[in-house]
Each structure stands twice: as structure tokens, then as C-alpha cells.
């Protein structure tokens, strides 16, 4: 597993001092703006990634939150427990409370994902009309939702806020925030726990790379610029509202690195 250790070490160096956390939001904005400009200028060549059925979209993006959830669940559990032990919280009850508090970020994220995607669908239904060709002599049907329209083999034309831009940006930012805990976590590099956490860390970084790449594909091939920009704005607002505002409060899931001064250059959680 030497390659895994080397990869993890390289990624930790790349993510050190919060440089990625500070620059990634601007990179995501640049991707959407530049990608949309290329799309609108018909400067993008046709590739398999232009199809919604490409493997990355089908097997990763369509179930993006599931990938995120099931990788972050063990990662947060193990790192929060280890961090609690390193802070001399001897009581097992305190260890469990610390872990459960940090795991609540997944409940918050799930609520954000569900409510935002539901809102996007509601807006699309509210603003859309159905273009469906009925049989000759039959009265014209009125369809209230996109689902009803598609069941009739019609095409729904509504304001389709990009759920991909929302979810991919939010997931990418959430990953880089959560893996920041490794900057303050001390472990025996020869332990099995280190191997497991390092494997989860590398997997999460790989997943974040896929999210950024697929955001680029979305910007290049799908949606109008306004739909993508709103989706991205919602995703970044969800990240900022949680990790840069609410999670700084005492009554919250807290940051991955608790009790770190906001002005600390090492952990770069300054607002």
C-alpha cells in the first residue's frame, strides 16, 4: 500500500494551509463562466461527455450525494473520534457525543440537498409548459408537471436550474472542508487506522476531482448560463452559510477542526 501512502502524503501537501479551500470557490465560478461562454459561442467539440448517458454522469453524478454520504460517514466518524481522543477527552461518552455532533453535518447536507433539488423541480414545474403531440381528433391535454408531460412522451419547457452545478459545487466544497481535519490530527503512520483513514481521504479527493471535472462538462454542454449560475450560487451559498457562518456557532455541528482560532494561518478558517 505504499502507493496509497505516497498519494495521501502528496494530497495532504496540496491541501495544506487551506489554499485549496480559499481558491476552489473561485475556480468553480471560473469554470461555469468560461465553460458557458465557450458553449454559447459554439466553440465546444462534440464528445461522449455531451451525452447524459456517459458513465461518469450515470454512475457518479446521478448518485453524487450517495457517494458523498457513504464515504464521509466513516471518514468523519473515525477522524472525529481520533480527534476527541487526542484532545484528552477521556470519557467515552464525550467521544461519542463529539462524533455524533460532527456526523450531524451529513444530516444538514442531506436536508440542503433534498430541499434545494425539490425547490428547483417546483420552479421548473411552475414555469414550464408541455409540448406533446396528441393523436388526431383528441382534445389537447394540459399537463401540470414535468413528470406527467414526459409520461405522455412530451417535452417540458421550464426554467431548469442546474441541479448539477448546485450539487457538484456543494459536494466539492464540503469535501475539502471535511478533509481539513487531517491538518490537525496526529496518528501512528504504521497503524491500521491510519491506513483506513488515508484510503478514505484519497477516495474523497478523487471524488472531489470528479465533481470539478463534471462541473466543467455541465458548463460546456448543458443548461443556459443563467440556470448554471443560479445553481452554482445556491451551492456556494449553502457551503458558505454552513461552514463559514453557522458551523462557527456553539449550537451547530461545528467545524472539522474545533477550537482553532479563525485567524489561524495554519488552518485558514478565517472568514
Summarize pLDDT for 208-243 with one digit per residue, the tens: 999 999 999 999 999 999 999 999 999 999 999 999
Average pLDDT over residues 180-197: 82
- Are residues 232 and 28 in contact, defined by beta-carbon separation less than 8 angstroms? yes
Average pLDDT over residues 91-103: 86
Please give the grid coordinates belonging to residue 113.
440537498
What is the band of 193 on the pLDDT scale with cuts at 50, 70, 90? Answer: confident
**pLDDT given for residue 77 in this prediction:** 95
Where in the sequence numbering do the catalytic residues fall? 164, 223
Question: Rounded to an integer, what distance in angstroms lies between the CA atom of residue 45 and that of residue 221?
Answer: 10
Single pTM value for the model = 0.88
What is the band of 1 on the pLDDT scale with cuts at 50, 70, 90? Answer: low
**pLDDT given for residue 67 in this prediction:** 95
Average pLDDT over residues 109-137: 84
What is the band of 178 on the pLDDT scale with cuts at 50, 70, 90? Answer: very high
**Any idea which residue has 428547483 for its cell?**
120
**pLDDT given for residue 147 in this prediction:** 77
In the predicted model, is pLDDT for residue 144 greater than 80? Answer: no
Helices (H) and strands (E) in the chain, counts: 9, 2
A 10 A CB-CB count for 47 gives: 11
Amino acid at each position: 500500500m505504499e502507493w496509497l501512502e505516497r498519494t495521501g502524503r502528496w494530497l495532504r501537501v496540496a491541501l495544506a494551509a487551506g489554499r485549496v479551500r480559499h481558491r476552489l470557490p473561485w475556480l468553480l465560478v471560473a469554470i461555469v463562466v468560461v465553460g458557458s461562454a465557450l458553449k454559447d459561442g459554439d466553440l465546444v467539440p462534440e464528445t461522449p461527455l455531451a451525452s447524459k448517458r456517459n458513465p461518469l454522469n450515470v454512475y457518479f453524478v446521478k448518485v453524487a450525494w450517495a457517494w458523498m454520504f457513504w464515504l464521509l460517514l466513516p471518514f468523519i466518524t473515525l477522524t472525529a473520534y481520533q480527534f476527541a481522543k487526542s484532545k484528552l477527552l477521556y470519557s467515552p461518552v464525550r467521544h461519542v457525543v463529539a462524533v455524533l455532533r460532527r456526523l450531524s453535518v451529513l444530516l444538514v447536507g442531506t436536508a440542503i440537498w433534498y430541499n434545494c433539488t425539490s425547490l428547483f423541480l417546483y420552479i421548473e414545474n411552475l414555469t414550464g409548459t408541455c409540448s406533446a403531440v396528441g393523436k388526431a381528433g383528441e382534445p389537447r391535454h394540459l399537463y401540470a408537471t414535468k413528470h406527467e408531460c414526459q409520461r405522455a412522451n412530451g417535452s417540458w419547457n421550464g426554467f431548469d436550474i442546474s441541479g448539477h452545478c448546485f450539487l457538484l459545487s456543494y459536494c466539492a466544497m464540503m469535501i475539502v472542508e471535511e478533509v481539513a481535519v487531517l491538518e490537525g490530527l496526529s496518528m501512528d503512520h504504521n497503524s491500521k487506522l491510519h491506513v483506513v483513514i488515508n484510503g478514505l481521504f484519497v477516495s474523497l479527493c478523487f471524488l472531489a476531482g470528479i465533481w470539478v471535472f463534471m462541473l466543467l462538462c455541465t458548463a460546456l454542454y448543458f443548461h443556459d448560463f443563467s440556470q448554471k449560475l443560479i445553481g452554482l450560487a445556491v451551492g456556494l451559498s449553502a457551503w458558505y452559510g454552513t461552514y463559514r457562518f453557522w458551523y462557527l456557532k456553539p449550537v451547530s455541528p461545528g467545524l472539522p477542526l474545533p477550537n482553532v482560532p479563525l485567524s489561524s494561518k495554519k488552518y485558514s478558517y478565517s472568514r
